[in-house]
Amino acid sequence: MSIESGQPMPSGTFGVMTESGPGAMSTEELFAGKKVVLVSVPGAFTPTCSMNHLPGFVDHADALTEKGVDTIACMAVNDVFVMDAWGKDRGVGDKVLMLADGNGEYATALGLEMDASGFGMGMRGQRFAIVVDDGVATHVAVEGPGEFEVSKAESVLAAL
């Protein structure tokens, strides 16, 4: 069963790139006392993710902040090195926190994993956006297969 609005976010840990190399960030550090938009993409450097999904959150970061969002975080089932390189490639700067869910454990904990083996990608996270307020999901928008509408930045802004 996947996470629903009103439910607490599961505990977990993400990989993050620090100034001294790969590090970790707990969900407690990410969510406690903050409003966070957690965006998930099936894969870094993939077409829709790179050309539309992530750039939309970079472009609308200021508008999201104005609506009370403290952190915009993008997760994918990729390693910390790929997420860091993708963030640099897309010019996210400090607008979007890049989170590695390297083994897909957090996507699975959310009940939002997907099998992309048919595309040679193995297990991945679905495309979604969750608004989290102090550790509780307040808005959950999960895309259907091949869709890109409810989880884009403009839709999240409209839901805030």
Residues tagged active-site: 49
Q: Residues 141, 142, 144, 148: what is their CA dihedral angle, to the nearest 10 degrees?
A: 60
- Residues counted in the chain: 160
Q: What is the DSSP string of 62-91?
A: HHHHHTT--EEEEEESS-HHHHHHHHHHTT
Cβ count within 10 A of residue 160 = 15
